[in-house]
Amino acid sequence: MRTVKTASGATAVQIVYSSHRGSRDIEHLGSAHDGAGLELLKAAARQRLAAGQGELDLGLAVGAPGGPLPITASRMGHLHDALSRAYDVLGLGRAAGGDEVFRQLVLARIIEPTSKLDAARVLEEAGLAAPSYATINRRLPQYAKQAWRRKLSAACAAHARLGRASLVLYDVSTLYFETDTGDGFREPGFSKERRLDPQITIGLLTDQGGFPLMVSAFEGNKAETKTMLPVIQAFMTAHQLPDVTVVADAGMVSEANQVQIEAAGLSFILGKRIPEVPYVVAQWHRDYPSEQVPDGHVFTQRWPAGPNGGHRDQVIYYQYRHDRARRTLRGIDEQVAKAEKAVAGQMPIKRNRFIQLSGDTHTVNRELEAKARTLAGIKGYITNLAACPDGTPITAEFVIGAYHRLFEIEKSFRMSKSDLQARPIYHRKRDSIEAHLTTVFAALAVSRWIEDRTGWSIRKFVRTARRYRTIEIQAGDHTITASDPLPADLNEALDRIHHLRAH
């Protein structure tokens, strides 16, 4: 469209457009001596230009002043949908009876772990309708009940598909509180972080992949070795399991604890302390006095139960690793060197296992040094299993491999403490602490499932997915939905979450 001057000086409008034959046509629509006439000509021109085309009426006034359209909603749609998908696949929604407050607390714990009061802010930033703080406080006593946690545990056990011969991993950790006085639950005790603050002891049971099955809280001064059997027995009773194979570190098992495990009829694979040089190791050194133990060599010592007592036969495997020996021998060299200097009066006498006191005389315990060097690089594993889960005879490779799966439960503890910030800093009452641990347990289950499906750490997944939001724009009477384009790797990760095919 263009305006031209006629011979008389009037303004005329010409429409220039391409016909369907490809030729250019010029149509003289008339002249306009005033603004109204010009607008009529422009309207006719628009009709000609839009001939045969549909119009999208957004309800915006023609000639309205320009400006950005308002965003009426913005949410972390991809992240929320993925976490909710995991929550539902694990059966946590059914186990919680459709409680949406609990779901939101679990998702908020994964998105940005913070206090219950601040959880509303996290949910609102994610674009979700957050429950009020009063509502959360009303629901916490329900989440603290053991019956509630047992339902979640049952959902996790069903997902793990545990059977009679299933391996379960057990370990404990501690969570400290910033308070000076104990209250019967929060009490000072042995702390892996070497803290003197009141604490609680957390016992975690997982499957062999580190997927959480059960969490329990104990008094902070309760011995770690006394937590394992109650947790395992409660889990087996709740899920009607006749037997499971417990895998635990040597530090978790005292002599009395092992006797109780055997008396309970449980199968086990346990790390074994080696206070003395085992007979099979000493015999090997006598047979090959000038040779180095081969890297990876396994010594096997069978331990028959005997006719009385009702216990099962046991097998102890002692494995030698060169790298383990190198690290241990370096530590022994450093300690012996300090002991020698202390005995010679060249440095203060401090706690050192190689210093022997006899009356007023301090000497270096060479006998203990020789034993420590002989045991360097050797680790013990004990089991009462007669066969592997597939029915084949038990092997050293299976026992040692199962024991080394304990790194998975250590990973779960690290996730709960760092990514999910499990330490209940803002809680004082036991019910609140128990409810908090229930939320963390469910969040850990969702996180481990996401990691298993995507191959990403939960931290990477949350950090990446939260950047891509879904927004709604109001354009007149219409609402337009838009979203950021996803990178290929995130799109693939989301596809693995929403489409449950093998990976």
* Residue that wins the pLDDT comparison between 208 and 48: 208
Least confident of 17-21, 92-96, 137-141, 382-386: 17-21
Mean pLDDT of 80-96: 96
Q: Is 34 exposed, middle or buried (0-12, 13-18, 19+ CB in 10 A)?
A: exposed
What residues have CB less than 8 Å from 18, skipping those under 6 apart?
A: 24
Q: Is 380 exposed, middle or buried (0-12, 13-18, 19+ CB in 10 A)?
A: buried
Please give the backbone phi and psi of residue 216, each rounded to the nearest 5 degrees, phi first.
Answer: -140, 145
* 178: alpha, beta or left? (left if phi > 0; alpha if psi -120 to 50): beta
SS3 of 205-221: the string is: EEECCCCEEEEEEEECC
The answer on pLDDT for 238 being more than 90 is no
pLDDT per residue as tens digits for the range 90-142: 999 999 999 999 999 999 999 999 888 888 899 999 988 889 999 999 999 99
Tally the C-alpha atoms within 13 A of residue 131's C-alpha that lie toward its C-beta.
19
pLDDT per residue as tens digits for the range 186-236: 888 887 777 788 888 899 999 999 999 999 989 988 888 788 888 888 888
Percent of the chain scoring above 90 in pLDDT: 45
Give the predicted TM-score (pTM) of the model: 0.79
* Dist. CA 47–CA 1, nearest whole Å: 12
The answer on pLDDT for 32 being more than 60 is no
Report the chain's C-alpha Rg in angstroms. Answer: 36
pLDDT per residue as tens digits for the range 310-319: 678 899 999 9
The answer on pLDDT for 70 being more than 60 is yes
* Dist. CA 118–CA 105, nearest whole Å: 11
Instruction: Calculate the CA dihedral of residues 370, 372, 373, 378 and round it to 10 degrees.
Output: 140
Contact status, residue 28 vs residue 34, Cβ threshold 8 Å: no
